[in-house]
Structure 1
Amino acid sequence: MIGIPWNEATIAGAFLGQKIAMNEFVAFANMGGVEMSARSTAIMTIALCGFANIGSVAWCVAP
């Protein structure tokens, strides 16, 4: 859906799950040791940037 080849979709999904459940720093740290194509690495780098995880949403909603 975001342009990741099917053979790397499981790995990419795991990183997106880590980003949502924990934060992007954990996902970026784990992404460093995984072999992916240059295109997939670029897509995942953009996808992992941002503030869309549970902790950040709570921070934005808190008074």
Structure 2
Amino acid sequence: EVLESKYISIEGDRIYVENQGKYQIGRHIESMDIDDEKDYMKYRLYFKIARKTYAKEFILLKKI
């Protein structure tokens, strides 16, 4: 299996990944890790489509 990072977008209540087309991934999400740091939170989203595993990381800054 290949671990890749791809562009992810959220439209309304649906999550999409763009990989030679646009695919809804909500039902493919396998896990999510969250690191809660002092100034930010880091989210790592893991999902699987066909035989490929994808990962995307988001960093959200906390209001100071």
Compute the TM-score of the two structures, normalised by the length of structure 1.
0.31
Pick 1 or 2: higher relative contact order, CA cutoff 8 A, min separation 6.
1
Which structure has greater strand proportion? 2
